[in-house]
Amino acid sequence: MPTPQERREELKAVWEQARGCVKCPQLAEARTTVVFGSGNADADLMFVGEAPGKNEDLKGHPFVGQAGKLLDQLLEEVGLERADVFVNNTLNCRPPGNRDPHPVEIENCQDYLMRKIELVEPKVICTLGNFATKLLRGDNTGITKVHGQAEVRVIGRRAVRLLPIFHPAAALYTRSMLDTLRADMAKVPELLALPVPEQPEPDDPPRPPISEEPETSRAVPSGGEEGEGARQAPGASPDEQLGLF
């Protein structure tokens, strides 16, 4: 079993791969930076949202706008804070104009998400909204039918307690939705207190590196040479760039 430090270093390696990803040429061309995820690299609780928005694309971290402020407030109400959890999305790049993710984009980014789940090793995953819920539950049942209903699911190589809840953005201006979101979030501490679900037998072969497109077909992200689509603050460490605690 890898140590927490080994898993943390592998998470950084996957982030490095994601920074230069051009599997979705339109997203790679339009992005300012890859929004890989941030928070506690050894978190018991992970949130999976939809895709970065404008503020996230500019700052490189997920949920930094109004929806992020509401998420922070909801965490505080259940005795947690952002440094306790790991937050990411189904997509690492902002769709142009904040449009919905396309199915092929979700498929292209899925390996990154599965690796993050495998390396962070959360006990509980909260899916925020329809896209994450449908992806991680493996069916097309909408969030309105399954929100607040926890279940054990094997996601990739890890068994977790999955709790679908509404996306905070949906509750910003609708009081009834906010009340529902609060009620669903209130279930999180109880789920975290439960034992880790029984894990699948580790009999799979070692996971290969996330595949990349052939060099001849790789697009160049806007902003310069390949790999510069994710702009790096001068002197910042990988931990600071990735936003790990």
CB 116 within 8 A of CB 14: yes
* pLDDT in the model for residue 75: 98
Residue 239 lies in a domain: no
Residue 76 lies in a domain: yes
Residue 122 lies in a domain: yes
Residue 230 lies in a domain: no
Residue 8 lies in a domain: yes
* pLDDT in the model for residue 152: 98
Q: Strand, helix or coil at 29?
A: helix
Residue 151 lies in a domain: yes
Q: Which domain holds residue 135?
A: 4-198+208-225
**Dihedral angle, C-alpha 6, 11, 15, 16, nearest 10 °:** 10
CATH number at residue 15: 3.40.470.10
* pLDDT in the model for residue 131: 97
Strand order in the sheet with 158-165: 38-39, 85-89, 45-49, 124-128, 158-165, 151-155
Residue 177 lies in a domain: yes
Number of domains in the chain: 1
Alpha helix (H) residue ranges in 60-102: 66-77
* pLDDT in the model for residue 244: 80
Residue 231 lies in a domain: no
Q: What is the pLDDT along the chain (245 residues), one digit of tens a residue?
A: 789 999 999 999 999 999 999 999 999 999 999 999 999 999 999 999 999 999 999 999 999 999 999 999 999 999 999 999 999 999 999 999 999 999 999 999 999 999 999 999 999 999 999 999 999 999 999 999 999 999 999 999 999 999 999 999 999 988 899 999 999 999 999 999 999 999 998 765 555 445 544 333 333 333 333 334 444 444 456 677 677 87
* pLDDT in the model for residue 225: 35
- Angle at the Cα of 210 from the Cα atoms of 2 and 18, rounded to 5 degrees: 95
